[in-house]
Amino acid sequence: MVAMVVVFIIYEEASFCPLKQDDFQKLFKEFNGSFRKSCSKDFIGFSIHGEIFDIYHYKIKATVAIDTNFPKITKWEGKEIIDDFVVEKWKNCPLDSKTKKSLYILEVSNFDNVKCCNSFKKELSNCQNYYSYVHFSEGEQYFLLYCTDSQELYYVRKRGL
């Protein structure tokens, strides 16, 4: 019985994908392609579904045209967007100083040590790429980086602490 529980927990952790098809449709205009999570890393330690601080890397199988009127989000990760919250539309990289200051989650972890995300910091400085974010509070931030050349999406989540 214990072994079954352990296998279930490992399967749940490995197969969890926070972004669904409807999320991609909120992020990209007329998105009707497919995607797959290629890897993820929970920075706080083992927890089911990386509830606190984690990064996900997606490969997108579609031609994505960036529309600077997107993302069109009214609800994110189950939370309603209200006036106090910030939803930044897609902007060209590199990050501006205001964004760097408000999104400390990009500085508090060493993304270079995550095998499939070790190019994350480099991609942030590529002017062909785009970023967006949802900022609820210092304790709850979501950052998205879309790499145009490789059709990859990085998703950094911080929920709590």
Q: Provide the domain count of the chain.
A: 1
Interval 47-78: pLDDT, tens: 665 567 888 999 999 888 899 999 998 888 88
Q: What is the residue range of 79's domain?
A: 2-159
Interval 75-112: pLDDT, tens: 888 888 887 788 899 999 999 888 887 787 787 667 77
Interval 124-146: pLDDT, tens: 999 999 999 998 887 788 999 99
Task: List, in order, residues 6 or more apart from 68 with CB less than 8 Å away.
Answer: 89, 90, 91
- Global pTM reads 0.88
